[in-house]
Structures are given as structure tokens and as C-alpha cells.
Chain A
């Protein structure tokens, strides 16, 4: 059993798996159950100002898309921040933290863009002895219409301003949670860093309509005949989140800024991938909402087995391992040549590779009379589509042509590394 202990910006937890600020962390009862199940930390569902609590819809709050056998792939929600009184939440946070001192407990916050409300709530949170705060600049629905959540996260100047207030008015570590509903994730990340954030967490949910009811012609989820966009999360958003995490991790301006990775983490493998791309820990929501808190046990055992198998003794050894391998397209080796190879022993003869290549790609697969499929090396551009549509794992693989070998498609020998910046077709490269 590997040592999974995590120290994220000074906040210690027995493992790097935290529950994200979301419905599962809205109250003491749930959070206690989460800790009992093994979660290393919890980001308490976003608190707002004192006074009358926010009001949620009493119709459906969630919409979803499903894969085979109704496996939930993406979840959308229109729930707002906590709708329970501030003092109740604060009292519970204090009690829970006292009872679980070894677990991380971070409090998510969202108040109007004025310094006074931020001062007030920071003072109140400090009294709970929580480990830190997370600034919710991400929620794209409801609160954004009132100038909070993603409405802040979409304006780098506001991010910087509020983050600065938080750091000036509190001793607590501060994580800034970013919205993906922007053009370039680096702008908000840089703003958070300038404001003094200890870390960023991302992604928050993505603007979305999950489906349209074709009997009533209403978007889902539907509230009394109408629908509003919600925030999308779950396994479907993971690739988007991975890229944004990697962008921050590899950018010169933000490199080294700690990242809490969020977005469709469902298994230990997802968590390890986020960490390899630079996340110091991960936050989970949809997997817990789909399967219950027990899923963390597979994440713990899986990450542990992975680390043992790779001789890793600390989760920090995973963090950022893949970051140097993330490049711009212009850096890729244009002289690298591979060819698809079909393993006829594994092939089940479904012909999907053939249909995909013949109809939509390069006509590089031929179909024999007995349904044997073979790659035509002189046509194959190595697009990888056949690999992706093949239902059998490892049946189609990509074989690298060694240096000096002739590519039957181009008739040219494989040359050493060279990229677009020096390519003869690149007029920009040759004008000087």
C-alpha cells in the first residue's frame, strides 16, 4: 500500500481525493458520511452572504446524458449555492472539522464583488478553523445572472481584485475556482496568480443544455415548461478539463501555480491523469453523485497499486510528470511516420475500420473476400481513426517506421526530427 498522503498548499489530507464543492457537500450529514467512506478532503458547498438564503427551483435540478445501459456520462445542474442559513453551515463546518482533524475541509465562498461582504464572510469562516477557502468564480447558472460565479470568473480584473481582497483580509490558504466558459483559461489563471491566489481549481461546470424533449419541445431539465442552461460535468467533460489543467501547468506565466484538478474524475486512473498533467490533487463530484461515496475506495486502492507498480513513494512524484510532453502543434515531429497494423488473430471482422477509412478517410484499408482486413501502407496516413473505431482493444495498433525506412505512401525515407517551424512549406519560416 503506497503512501497516498497529500499536502496541497499546506492543507494536509490522507489522500489526494477531495469532494468538490457541490450538492454532496452541502451539509454535515453528507460530509461525515464522505469522511467515513474515506475521502481525504471536502470542499464545503458554496456559502453566500448572511441573510435570507438563496432559493432553489423545486422542479428538476439535474439533466443527464447516458451511454450504453444508461451509464451516466454527463450531468447538468441548475442548483444554486447552499440554500441553508449561513450560521447553520458555519456551525456544522466547525463541528465536523473538530471531529475530523486529519481530513481537509475547505469552504467555498461566493458573495458580491464588494470588499465588505468578503471581509465579513472570511472572518466568519476563519472562526470555524476550516483549512482554507475556495472562491467560486465558476458556477455558470443562476448566480452568474446576479454578477457572481462565472460572471466574475469571466473578467480577469475581477478575479484579481477579489483574490487580493481575500488574501489581504484572511490568513487562510486561498484556492480560486475557474470557469471553463472562457476563450483562454490562461487569462483567469494569470489573474488569480496576480491577485495572490495560493492555487487554482478547475474546471467548474460548462454551460449546457443536455437535451430537448421532442414531445413538448422544451429543453431538459424542464421547469414548468421552460428550461435554462445549466452547468455540465461528469466523465464527458474530462478531456476539456485535462487540457485546461495542462495549459496552466505548462504556461511560463502560471507554471508552478498549484492546481486542484476537477472535471469528470471517476476512477483512480482519471485522478492520476489529472495529476500527471499538473494537478496537485483532484476534486470529485459526479462520480460520487452517481455511485455514492464508496467510489473513493477504488480510487485509493487503484492509485496505490499504480504507485506500487511504478515504484512511486509519494503522490507528488506523479504530479506534473506529463507536463513536459505537452507541446504546441508546431513542435510536433513532422518526420515521424507510423502505419496502422491490423492483428488478424484478434480481428472479429466487423469491418468498422474499413467503413470508417473507406467512407471518411483515406481508403487505406482493403477488405478481402473472407472479410480479412489489411492496411494499405501506401495509402495510410496514420490518422488513427481505425484504431479509435475498432471495438477490440489492441487489435489495430500503430507501428512506427524506423529512421531511414521508406514510407510507401510518400516514397521518402524517414528523416530525423523536424517540425513546422523549419518546414519548407512554411512561408513564415523561410521569409527571413
Chain B
């Protein structure tokens, strides 16, 4: 008998392959040309636009939207790529509701921002569909830079350095590049193997070599990298995941990050096993991504248990609504206590005098699968680097405590852990590296 939603345990094939393919289609379907023109027309072309300030990469949003409105989507894409070479991915994964679109003055006017994210995607998709690369590489400088990590920070840094004529080698511990774009974010945000397509497109600038399967600490040392290169940039992300401090044991307990990573690498998703009753522990984007995807795979019940209240949740209101609209239940003020055959037992909590306390009440949820998404930690950072709050300490231009070594993205201090922030940090570090390699400050 084939599996269905009520089949006990962690199994694949709870839904038909067709249904799963449909469930993992584009979260926000692309705008067609007419829709884009209509959406673009809503932009007021604000002076010193708040959306632009809210964008970590400071894309000139009013300008690119006006370029779309006047029928020049490729010029719009160039405006975007000039600030954010991963503008295509950011258009798909940015939490625009807390960034540019939150700042849009149309919210004041009619509680509905200009659809900046979808317009950005329209422009970048139009450009990328036509083929070609928006920038030309400057004459080779003879300088060599090592970039560790082929995630958003590393790619943005490598691209900007290559553009300026430097020779770049990217090292990545995995067999594929893209970092969280490839292994982390929810599949329905970037379907169609977009992360790899974008990576190939980005490398078309030239001057960048990628070496996969080379992990810092195992296969590479910072010392060697420094000896062989004029500068080093670290964009190594947060490779460690926090453990769940609960009593008991449960066969279905796993890291949400690992489960999502495996899911991302599955082509059709129909072979990905998922529990009948899934409980996700955590309150960030990873928790939402894991829960929603578990539901899309056909889990019968999916619950996110978060120890604090709704307002404290790191995942945005939009993401919370997305999860509940897909049938995920979000249980606030529920902290994990123990796991066992019966599932997971959670303690009810409350905030008293600014402190989170357990109320004494508990509840037990049946669970075949428990996914922990309670944060990621820095792992494999070279010991010589100063660490601050669990991250590599950097200044505003990405310089670490070690001369000649820069860092950016999730592994470094500064900014939120977002793709777009990583891009900004990688790009800015590249500018500073360029300045220092060419005799500047």
C-alpha cells in the first residue's frame, strides 16, 4: 500500500509526485510584462527614497522601477546588479516586508507597498533570460585574493574583486557553490535550480576559479592562504547548529538545517522522507522553512514550538502568516522539556518582569519527527581571529583583527543574517581589499 498523509513514521511519498512538484512551485510567481508596468507605475519616485535606505545593498530602487516603467528592464537590471550582483536571488528570498517594502511610502498611502521584490525579479529575470553579463572585467592587476566560502558573501566579494581585475580563487568545503542559496533557503523561494544558474552567470565575469571540497581547517589553513594570496576574505557562514537541551531520546530528532539541505538537493522532492506528526523547535526563518516544507511534503500535522511570544519571534509576520496559511500551527510560549516515544513534551512559558519563566503547565505533542532550528554557530574560524559575540569581529569595511584578512556574511559581526546583508558585506569588503591592494588606505 502506498504511503499517505496518515502513514506513521518518517516516510517519503505522502503525496503524489505531481502534487509535491506543484507544492514546491514558485512562492511568488513572476510578474509578466503588463503586470510589471502596472506595478511599476505605483512607484512615486521618492526623493532620497526610504526603500533605498532600507535595502542593505542600497539598490537605487526608484530608478530601476522607473526604468521598468519606461520599458527598459535591462537597464533596470544593471541598476540592480551594480549594487547587488545577486539581485536575482535577493529578489526571491529577501524578506522585503521587513526591508524595502516596509519602508515604501505607499504603506502610508494605502497600506500596500510597491511590489519591489517582484519588480526586481522581473528586471533581473529579463536580463538573465537574454543572456550575457552586465559588467566587463578591468585589466588584470596581477593581485591574487582567496575567498573562502561560495555563499552570498563570498560570491559578491569575488565578483567585485574580479571586476576590478584581481585574480580570485574561491574555496568551498562542499561539492557545490551557492552556500545557503543552494543548501539553506526554502525550495519554493528559488525553484528551477536558480542558485546554480545564478552562480554560473556570476562567474561569467571571468578571473574567478572555484575549488570545491576544500574546507578551511581541514584542507586549508589561513596561514597558507595568506602566503599564497595578497588578501583573504572569509565568508564561511555559520556551520554549526545548536543542540537541543532536553531529556530523553527520539529517533526522529534531527537538525532542521541538515534536513532542509538534503531536501534542497533532492530533484523532485518526492523522495524526501517526512514525519506524519512533525514538530519544529525554533522561531527563526529556518524553523518556518522547515515547517512549511514538511507540510508541503504531506506531513499530517506540523507544529512550530517557540519558547517566547509572537512578538519576539525572529521570523517576520509575513513568514508566520505564510506558515499558518500552509496549515502549520505555531505554538508560542512552549519550550521543549523532554522527548521520548510519546513525542515531545513542552513547558508552557510566560514572560515575567522581562524574564522567560515556565508556568508549570506542560503539554505533550505526538511527534514522528522533531526538527531543531534553534540557531547556528560559528565553526572552523581560524583561532587567530578575534571573536565577538560568537562571530568574527570585523570593522565597517570587513577587516578582521588580522591584517590582510577580511570577513563578511553570517560568520562576521554586523548586520542581520540575510542573503542581502551578506552580499553587501562581501561587496564592501572587496572594495576595501581593492583599495588596500592598489595602494590606498
Contact = CB atoms under 8 A, between A and B. Distances in A.
Interface string A62-105: 00000011000000000000000000000000000000000000
A348 B109 CA distance: 6
Contact of A350 (B37, B38, B41, B46): B46
B32 to A, nearest CB: 14
B340 interface: no
A interface residue count range (under 10 / 10 to 19 / 20 to 34 / 35 or more) = 10 to 19
B44 A349 contact: no
A211 B150 CA distance: 49
Contacts of A351: 46-49
B432 to A, nearest CB: 28
A355 interface: yes
Contact of A371 (B37, B38, B50): B50
Interface string B99-133: 00000011011000000000000000000000000
Interface string A364-394: 0001000100000000000000000001100
B318 interface: no
B106 A68 contact: no
A187 interface: no
B281 to A, nearest CB: 40
Main secondary structure of the interface of A (DSSP, over half): loop
Interface string A328-356: 00000000000000000001111110110
B38 A68 contact: yes
Nearest to A348: B108
A347 B46 CA distance: 13
B38 A69 contact: yes
A349 B45 contact: no
Contact of A391 (B38, B49, B50, B109): B109
Contacts of B108: 347-349
Contacts, number: 35
Contacts of A367: 47-48
Interface residues of B, number: 14
Interface string B47-74: 1111000000000000000000000000
A392 B47 contact: no
A349 B105 contact: yes
Given A391-B109, A392-B109, A352 B47 contact: yes
A371 B37 CA distance: 28
* Residue of B38, B47, B106, B109 with highest tally of chain A CB at under 10 A: B47
B47 A68 contact: no
A68 B44 CA distance: 12
A352 B45 CA distance: 8
A355 B49 CA distance: 11
A52 B50 CA distance: 66
Nearest to A355: B47
Interface string B16-33: 000000000000000000
* Residue of A68, A348, A367 with highest tally of chain B CB at under 10 A: A348
Contact of B105 (A68, A69, A350, A354): A350
Interface string B370-382: 0000000000000
Contacts of A392: 109
B47 to A, nearest CB: 3
Contacts of A352: 44-47
A352 B37 CA distance: 21
Contacts of A391: 44, 109
Contacts of A355: 47
A89 to B, nearest CB: 40
14 contacts: A69-B37, A69-B38, A69-B41, A350-B44, A350-B105, A351-B46, A352-B44, A352-B45, A352-B46, A352-B47, A355-B47, A371-B48, A371-B50, A391-B44
Given A69-B41, A349-B108, A351-B47, 10 more contacts: A68-B38, A69-B38, A348-B109, A351-B48, A352-B44, A352-B45, A352-B47, A354-B47, A355-B47, A371-B50
Interface of B: 37-38, 41, 44-50, 105-106, 108-109
